[in-house]
Structure 1
């Protein structure tokens, strides 16, 4: 309760400052833009989906900076200002952003902010039989990504009905790309000899479900969870049992543990990107959800031979 109260006080203070006019200060380098639908997204995939659908009529602001892992990230005062002044706020849901509930509960009654839970209606995987807890990494299923993009499209149409036709057209084009991506995954992964993967972070349940794979992870749903000696022993045994030659790691968290385990097991490491964010280099190179997912597919095919 104390933590929530402090959050509420900070949020209220920032909101008041925003209303009396603090100029154009905004989260990171991004700024709200007059004449466009301003959409603040909680992390990278939602940012990309929003830009792809909104096109020139939408100003999308991604809260989590490039190169930052989003699981334990929380908004700063400048981020809260952007969220309260935007027309739409899009978050993943399914337990991914621990700070969102307090933020939504702290919005003033007069706020016109449209809040969109992107994963609503997606085919979610339960992590517990006794509680309504879900694996939040739904975007790693291209078919779920389609549902998430559709939720964003609906919100954009509601905020700017004059450009409904553009949003519908852009969504249809992006949906086709995601369907093509899904088809590539189905075709190529159906032909691999192995179906088991060893990963550093338990982020790929949706990808495994959709394409008939099984994952064994060093860490849990959060990439910074500390594995026990027993966890490492189980991973080593799993790799030997299935004759795995690679351990997958991701770029936004340290690869030290994966490389240490790989050295002990005499296997190699390779990247499997959970697409929770891009690095600065990837952003500058023009990488996106589709291109990174295609790189993931290429690496999976290599590892599963």
Structure 2
């Protein structure tokens, strides 16, 4: 085996008391794979995921050969996560860490300090892009708002705090990019646990196929719509917008908690009128107050467009694929899909 510390399942269960939520799942495609090193020894690869999109990949690809813990409990807004001392120390006991640099500064620092050899940054497995408050085209000059340019510049500056050199880390909301990451995660798990490489390869292929099917559904569902512009709480959907020919306009920047300026609100109201926007989207893990205020001021409806940063009882689906399908249905309705 490569550098690897296999931990008995019983010992892993004890890690819950140290602040980690232990979660494990067996992928249907992995059910037939028996007799691997993990099953023979009663041991599994101890995987720590930073938040739900990474947890989902680890569980789907790792299947029955991994025990996955997540640093971000369901219902916690991941951007604001602060790690306790024991929780951070637990990272050092992991065999494999999967995270996304640029989303959670506290996690980035703790992972660097942990120094676990098999540590994978999902951002390194695809190409990141720079997104601000809007993706598609610039409305600043178009609407004649002398403050619009300043507002966008401020949001771009804030975006730099979120990712490397101002890049947008929300790659999982593009099924194509998420599939690229899945392939990289699968390859890294094969390297970390070569005894079960065949199972990881099989599970990766199955997951990529599901993501490809999801991509096709988005392409077909959003190909012909009355408008291409949607307004959302924070700028999480830039990759999705670019992938499917839409324009995202966000109330806040890349941070869900940043407050919009009066100039930005004024600009959004103008955009909503010109682009025939009928819905303002909010999300499940942050307050919907600002979205409802903007909607009320412009006579618009509100609905949920979930950035899938965590799964809770409020989520419109039990996992990533189900919630993405709900997002597609919400977009089709809001954009007037034909």
Please report the TM-score for the alignment, with normalisation by the length of structure 1. Answer: 0.85
In structure 1, what is the Cα distance between the partners aligned to 2:317 and 2:219? 25
Q: Please, which of 321, 325, 334 is the counterpart of residue 294 of structure 1?
A: 325
Asked whether 1:192 is paired with 2:225, we answer yes
Over 3 Å counting, the alpha-carbon distance change for 1:101 and 1:249 in structure 2 is closer
Structure 2 gap ranges (5+): 1-13, 25-37, 132-155
Residue in structure 2 matched with residue 96 of structure 1 by the alignment: 103
Over 3 Å counting, the alpha-carbon distance change for 1:31 and 1:82 in structure 2 is farther
Residue in structure 2 matched with residue 161 of structure 1 by the alignment: 194
1:135-154 equivalent positions in 2, closer than 5 A: 135-154=168-187
1:79-118 equivalent positions in 2, closer than 5 A: 79-93=87-101, 95-107=102-114, 112-118=116-122
Q: Please, which of 217, 220, 223 is the counterpart of residue 250 of structure 2?
A: 217
Cα deviation, 1:239-262, whole Å, max 9, x if unaligned, reads: 011111100000100001111111
Please report the TM-score for the alignment, with normalisation by the length of structure 2. Answer: 0.77
Asked whether 1:26 is paired with 2:18, we answer yes
Q: Please, which of 199, 210, 215 is the counterpart of residue 182 of structure 1?
A: 215
Residue in structure 2 matched with residue 257 of structure 1 by the alignment: 290
Q: Please, which of 11, 33, 46 is the counterpart of residue 38 of structure 1?
A: 46
Contact 1:87 1:114 in 2 (8 A): yes
Asked whether 1:61 is paired with 2:69, we answer yes
What is the number of residues matched between the two proteins?
Answer: 277
Q: CA RMSD in A?
A: 2.2
Contact 2:214 2:321 in 1 (8 A): yes
| Deviation, structure 1 residue 286 | 6.3
Contact 2:97 2:116 in 1 (8 A): no
Q: Please, which of 266, 276, 285 is the counterpart of residue 243 of structure 1?
A: 276
| Deviation, structure 1 residue 77 | 2.2
SS at match of 1:193: coil
Cα deviation, 1:206-238, whole Å, max 9, x if unaligned, reads: 000100000111100000001111111111111
SS at match of 1:209: helix
In structure 1, what is the Cα distance between the partners aligned to 2:18 and 2:313? 20
Query: Mean Cα displacement is larger for which, 202-211 or 81-90?
Result: 81-90
Structure 1 gap ranges (5+): 1-22
Residue in structure 2 matched with residue 8 of structure 1 by the alignment: none
SS at match of 2:181: helix
| Deviation, structure 1 residue 272 | 0.5
SS at match of 2:165: coil
Contact 1:141 1:206 in 2 (8 A): yes
Contact 1:186 1:211 in 2 (8 A): yes
SS at match of 2:79: coil
| Deviation, structure 1 residue 101 | 4.1
